[in-house]
């Protein structure tokens, strides 16, 4: 047990699993308050005034919020993406930001692959046919799908998760992989199993050659709106587009235009510019779209591993140690 002076005020702003909450409560003075729930907002605001540490996810931590948190030293995000944090303001205030890289890679890659398969083979549409009693004759050409095995995959973003997707595609489905990233990856060092199977490729070339384009990009100033009409226009006719990164990297009007008036075959989307997806978004019911409610990492095992890593990050930071996963701005 640490001394009373070592006990710090911690604000948990999204539910944590009970075992991880208990780890924090054993050492620190913890307030649990979710600002998205109107009845908990006053408690959240009160706790902000004295909190030295915060842990949670997917809430906009902006300048105004930080101005109400004068004691804050560390934020531990239960996510790998950090686009909801005002990074320059955190840096200016000397607040450390931790996140959860690595522990979710395989699960998110599984989700993206499921979406890729569902979009290519029209699984949701055809399952609904059975469910709704419309399977009254043999399936004809109008409902045929698109082979995945052997097709060329184009990856926009080739980081931890992009490489996990590439392994599934190249090793499991015999797909040549082209990728676009800020810099080429040293495959011999980072992913030897992908040597000779994944190629750093200029964007225009990738778009012209890929049958399936998967975006696995973080949201930043350089990627916001990056997937626009010119990108959809440069894709191979009949291509499929999957987004497992962040919704706002895509210009959704341009995506809709490519589906309705261009040659894009289908889109599989786990993420959207606005989440939850607004009821009036045409993407919600579009016949060529398979939409998921941002479930990339949402399995029992992985969400627990994320919470565990985030809790360890926070405990280490508050103990004056270097946390395992500090977000480093590139
Ligand atoms: N759908 C979901 O539930 C999930 C979504 N994500 C999203 O996926 C993102 C990627 O995660 P990781 O693979 O761990 O990140 P990472 O940092 O390992 O990889 C990012 C990749 O994007 C590339 N990139 C960044 N900016 C670029 C630009 N302007 N142009 C071209 N390439 C660029 C980098 O070079 C790198 O290859 C996260 O930041 C998060 O937003 C992550 C987990 C779950
Ligand atoms: O970790 C992230 O960035 C997510 O989107 C959810 O796992």
ipTM score here?
Answer: 0.99
CATH superfamily entry for domain 9-103+301-318: NAD(P)-binding Rossmann-like Domain (3.40.50.720)
Are 302 and 80 in contact by the 8 Å Cβ rule? The answer is no
Task: Give pLDDT, residue 26.
Answer: 98
**Alpha-carbon distances of 314 from 60, 297, 323, 326, rounded to whole Å:** 19, 21, 7, 10
Indicate the Cα dihedral angle 160, 161, 164, 169, nearest 10°.
-130
Q: Is 93 labeled as catalytic in the residue annotation?
A: no
Helix axes 160-167, 105-121, angle to 10 degrees: 50
Counting residues of the chain whose pLDDT is more than 70, the rounded percentage is 98
Expressed in percent and rounded to 5, the helix, strand and coil fractions of the chain are 40, 15, 45
Q: Which of the listed residues 79, 102, 106, 182 should we mutate to test ligand 1's pocket, taking the one with most ligand atoms within 8 A of CB?
A: 182
Residue 1 pLDDT > 60: no
pLDDT band at 329 (very low <50, low <70, confident <90, very high): confident
* Domain topology for 105-291: Rossmann fold (3.40.50)
Nearest protein Cα to ligand 1, atom 7: 245
**97-135 pLDDT, tens digit each:** 999 999 999 999 999 999 999 999 999 999 999 999 999
**207-242 pLDDT, tens digit each:** 999 999 999 999 999 999 999 999 999 999 999 999
1: three-class secondary structure by DSSP:
coil
| 111 CB-near residues (< 8 Å, 6+ apart) | 244, 270, 292, 295, 296, 297, 298
Task: Give pLDDT, residue 2.
Answer: 60
Strands 9-12 and 53-56, how do they pair? parallel
Q: Which of the listed residues 77, 78, 81 should we mutate to test ligand 2's pocket, taking the one with most ligand atoms within 8 A of CB?
A: 81
Q: Where do the structural domains in the chain lie, given as residue ranges?
A: 9-103+301-318, 105-291
Distance 297 CA to ligand 2 centre (A): 6
CA 55 to chain centroid: 18
């Amino acid at each position: 047990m640490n001394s009373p002076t070592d006990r710090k005020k911690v604000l948990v702003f999204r539910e944590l699993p009970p075992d991880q909450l208990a780890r924090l409560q054993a050492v620190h003075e913890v307030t649990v308050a979710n600002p998205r729930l109107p009845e908990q907002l006053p408690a959240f605001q009160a706790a902000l005034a004295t909190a030295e540490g915060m842990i949670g996810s997917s809430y906009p931590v902006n300048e105004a919020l930080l101005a109400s948190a004068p004691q804050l030293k560390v934020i531990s995000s239960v996510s790998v993406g950090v686009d909801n944090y005002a990074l320059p303001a955190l840096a200016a205030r000397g607040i450390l930001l931790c996140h959860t890289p690595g522990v979710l890679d395989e699960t998110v890659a599984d989700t993206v692959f499921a979406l890729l398969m569902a979009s290519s083979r029209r699984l949701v549409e055809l399952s609904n046919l059975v469910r709704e009693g419309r399977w009254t004759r043999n399936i004809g050409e109008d409902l045929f799908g698109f082979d995945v095995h052997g097709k060329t995959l184009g990856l926009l973003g080739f980081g931890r998760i992009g490489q996990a997707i590439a392994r599934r595609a190249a090793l499991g489905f015999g797909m040549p992989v082209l990728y676009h990233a800020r810099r080429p990856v040293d495959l011999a060092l980072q992913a030897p199993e992908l040597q000779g199977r994944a190629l750093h490729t200029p964007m225009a070339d990738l778009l012209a050659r890929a049958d399936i384009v998967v975006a696995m990009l973080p949201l930043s100033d350089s990627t916001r709106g990056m997937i626009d009409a010119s990108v959809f226009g440069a894709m191979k006719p009949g291509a499929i587009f999957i987004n497992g990164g962040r919704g706002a990297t895509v210009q959704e009007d341009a995506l809709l235009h490519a589906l309705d008036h261009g040659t894009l075959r289908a889109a599989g989307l786990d993420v959207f510019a606005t989440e939850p997806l607004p009821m009036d978004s045409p993407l919600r019911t579009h016949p060529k779209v398979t939409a998921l409610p941002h479930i990339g990492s949402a399995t029992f095992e992985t969400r627990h591993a994320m919470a565990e890593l985030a809790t360890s990050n926070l405990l280490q930071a508050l103990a004056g140690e270097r946390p395992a996963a500090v977000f480093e701005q590139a």
